[in-house]
Structure 1
Amino acid sequence: MNLKFLRVLIVIFLLTLNFSCSSQENEETKETFEKVLIDIGDSLTAGAGGDGNSMSKVASKLLGKEWIVKNMGVGGENTLTIGARHGGIPMYVKESIIIPKDGSKVEIPSGLYSSYNHKKVLPLLQGSAGINPCKIDTIQCKLTRNQNKYYINRITPFSSDYKTKENTTLHTSLSDQKKGILTIFIGQNGGYSSPSELLNQIDLFVQHKGDDNIIIITSHGNSTTEIVKLVREKYKSKYIDLKEYMTTKAIYDAIEFGLLPNNGDYPTVKDLERINTNQTPKTLLKDGIHFNSIGYELLGRIRYKKGKELGYW
């Protein structure tokens, strides 16, 4: 065989091999990057009362190390404040402010407002999940709260101060995180005036996500028949009616899964009384609304089952 022709074949082979490996690496990187699960919500998402357990922790255990699970639950937040963190319902600074060039903090005089209805939102009450670093226009900043006042400062000092316009949107870091699967678990703390308004706000979360890789959960605490009807009609198989589950099957699943002893002690008389009045059994609760470790384990498992049904994992 001609030596020159042989060299050409070798070069072509090496280039093809390199391209193939590069493409495979890119696909592997993409697959790994998209194996992200973000749980957004309030204290029920955060896992308050669970002694370290939460829906997100159960997911991490069941999904394994290939998945990145982010618990973005913060206690005490209503739908508008959660929406402000998530980015589906952005918050804004009403007045023009000057952000100092040296990175020192400046007060946001009147606080932060929701783009949904121009009412105040109150982030950073019990946590900062997904807020910082934030941006005003192109300026990367940090938002802080002290004695009911909000402050912002530039992260990297610059050569000059920056003056914002009135009604400038404050973008959170979470607002840019749209890959993977999003669980939206909001509504227990209000922020809406009607079931249709709650559905409309959920729609804004989904629109911001940019795809339908979602799971919607409504609370076992204050979910109504109308809320369930509207959300189920809109989101169908992507919806979990947590109240229905917790007041019917949950405690029996706890026994089946070995989370409670199968010795006749459960459900208790009190549990059955609450089930008969459409309430979550006390055995699964830490207090009036928050689950204990067993309750969060059950929540995590039914969410995992739903994701499995939807082909997410």
Structure 2
Amino acid sequence: MNLIKQLITRILAITAIIILAVVAYCAWSAPYFKQLGVLGGVEIQQPKMPAINCWGDSLTQGAFGDGETYPKALRRIIARQLTANGYPQSVPVVRNLGISGETSLEIACRGGLAMRTQSPIRINQGERQIFRITADGGKAVSILRLGDTGVNPVKIGSVVGRLDRIDDENHYTFTPTHVRYQDTLPKNSRVVTYAAAHYRSAIPVIFIGQNGGYSNTADLIRQQKAIIHNQIGAEHQYIVVGLHTGTAKQRTALEKKMQQTYGDHYINLRKILSKNGTKIAGIKATKEDRRMMRAGMVPASLLADDHLHFNAKGYRTVAKVIYARMTALKLIRYPLGAQSIVKNYYE
């Protein structure tokens, strides 16, 4: 009898230890999980949604949008979806990494395209040496020409510090965060931006090329892929947004190559908006809208007065298109049982 009591006591003690261990683990791991979902009455933990990095120029930054941007609108749609399904605290980070006026090359360099110094950099106490940077392929780099989003602090070789562009000839200086008495970084040292180093576990949305910066379609694809391939374990989790300007005839060759390269990960924004832009926006097409749409152009009602940038309605419409495609590709995964609130917008 005593043996049975001792055995029961030990079993209860072991059970209590296991329960405490499970509780402790759940408490420790809570920051890494979303709220609980339910499957067959058993509670399961859903992984956190990845961040979304929106790479681009003024069309991403939100010029002429009266404070509206497509990244901001995209986050609102996701938040509305999660709130409608009971998960208001699980909204992911949506980063606006747009800089007005930047070329595709400059954006790609911020997002992961390899850059290298063109001369050795001698680092001495109180001394800053001037040097140039080129992208892989030998093209001169002019990051920091129009903004610092995602750039500083950079890492050159093994040294972290601040990169400054000091003139229009693309000369740079580098100020290490921690200066040793003397250190020399060799020629061809790799230059890595903050975003390229720290924003890698995310879904990139790449909307680049309106300001040039590429020699041909293959070069633009190379730049886009540099951002995609910089993501950790996420080569199939990305969106490439096509140029929205021009007519169907003017964009045929570019759009065909993009579609062949990226498949459903490519959004032919010009084509979608020229066919269904006013419908997606929930507005009535004007006579001018219909004329432009017949030519394969984005309707005027979605554009600012310059007919290049979007207005607030246009940015919200772009966000809807991107959100729907991301959801269709299962790039955005909601808790079990969640119902979509935005329809898919394909060509």
TM-score bin, normalised by smaller chain: 0.7 to 0.9
2:80 is the counterpart of 1:61: no
Name the residue aligned to 1:205.
227
Counterpart-to-counterpart distance in 1, 2:266 and 2:30: 30
Name the residue aligned to 1:271.
289
The answer (yes or no) to whether the contact 2:271–2:297 under 8 Å persists in 1 is no
For this pair of structures, how many residues does the alignment match? 298
The residue type paired with residue 70 of structure 1 is R
Counterpart-to-counterpart distance in 2, 1:13 and 1:227: 65
Counterpart-to-counterpart distance in 2, 1:125 and 1:25: 44
The answer (yes or no) to whether the contact 2:54–2:205 under 8 Å persists in 1 is yes
Counterpart-to-counterpart distance in 2, 1:112 and 1:159: 23
Name the residue aligned to 1:263.
none
2:93 is the counterpart of 1:74: no
2:201 is the counterpart of 1:179: yes
2:158 is the counterpart of 1:99: no
The residue type paired with residue 138 of structure 1 is S
The answer (yes or no) to whether the contact 1:219–1:243 under 8 Å persists in 2 is yes
TM-superposition CA deviations, 1:54-97 (whole Å, max 9, x none) = 1110122112252111111112222221111001x122211111
The answer (yes or no) to whether the contact 1:51–1:292 under 8 Å persists in 2 is yes
Name the residue aligned to 1:127.
147
Give the secondary-structure state (helix, strand or coil) at the position aligned to 1:178.
coil
- TM-score normalised per structure 2: 0.78
2:108 is the counterpart of 1:86: no
Poorly superposed stretches of 4+, deviation over 4 Å: 30-34
2:182 is the counterpart of 1:155: no
Give the secondary-structure state (helix, strand or coil) at the position aligned to 2:255.
helix
CA distance 1:108–1:247, shift in 2 (3 Å): farther
CA distance 1:268–1:207, shift in 2 (3 Å): same
User: Identity of counterpart residues, as a percentage?
Assistant: 26
1:20 is displaced (CA, Å) by 5.8
Counterpart-to-counterpart distance in 1, 2:49 and 2:279: 35
Give the secondary-structure state (helix, strand or coil) at the position aligned to 2:66.
coil
CA distance 1:5–1:44, shift in 2 (3 Å): same
1:253 is displaced (CA, Å) by 2.2
Name the residue aligned to 1:52.
67
TM-superposition CA deviations, 1:227-268 (whole Å, max 9, x none) = 2112212221211101112222112322x2xxx4xxxxx422
Give the secondary-structure state (helix, strand or coil) at the position aligned to 1:280.
coil
1:160 is displaced (CA, Å) by 1.8
TM-superposition CA deviations, 1:27-58 (whole Å, max 9, x none) = 75066655211111111111111111111101
Counterpart-to-counterpart distance in 1, 2:92 and 2:316: 18
The answer (yes or no) to whether the contact 1:199–1:230 under 8 Å persists in 2 is no
CA distance 1:33–1:139, shift in 2 (3 Å): farther
Give the gaps of 5 or more residues in structure 2. 35-46, 80-88, 333-347
- Tell which deviates more after alignment, 143-152 or 130-139: 143-152
Give the aligned CA root-mean-square deviation in angstroms. 2.4
Counterpart-to-counterpart distance in 2, 1:161 and 1:140: 15
The answer (yes or no) to whether the contact 2:204–2:227 under 8 Å persists in 1 is no
1:307 is displaced (CA, Å) by 1.2
Name the residue aligned to 1:228.
255
Counterpart-to-counterpart distance in 2, 1:276 and 1:194: 28
Name the residue aligned to 2:138.
118
Give the secondary-structure state (helix, strand or coil) at the position aligned to 1:224.
helix
The answer (yes or no) to whether the contact 2:56–2:99 under 8 Å persists in 1 is yes
Counterpart-to-counterpart distance in 1, 2:130 and 2:243: 33
The answer (yes or no) to whether the contact 1:98–1:162 under 8 Å persists in 2 is yes
1:165 is displaced (CA, Å) by 0.4
Counterpart-to-counterpart distance in 1, 2:114 and 2:239: 21
TM-superposition CA deviations, 1:262-281 (whole Å, max 9, x none) = xxxx4222222222322222
| Match runs of 1:250-265 below 5 Å | 250-254=277-281, 256=282, 260=283
The answer (yes or no) to whether the contact 2:111–2:226 under 8 Å persists in 1 is no
- TM-score normalised per structure 1: 0.86
| Match runs of 1:270-289 below 5 Å | 270-286=288-304, 287-289=306-308
Give the gaps of 5 or more residues in structure 1. 261-265
- Tell which deviates more after alignment, 172-181 or 27-36: 27-36
- Tell which deviates more after alignment, 163-172 or 229-238: 229-238
The residue type paired with residue 100 of structure 2 is G
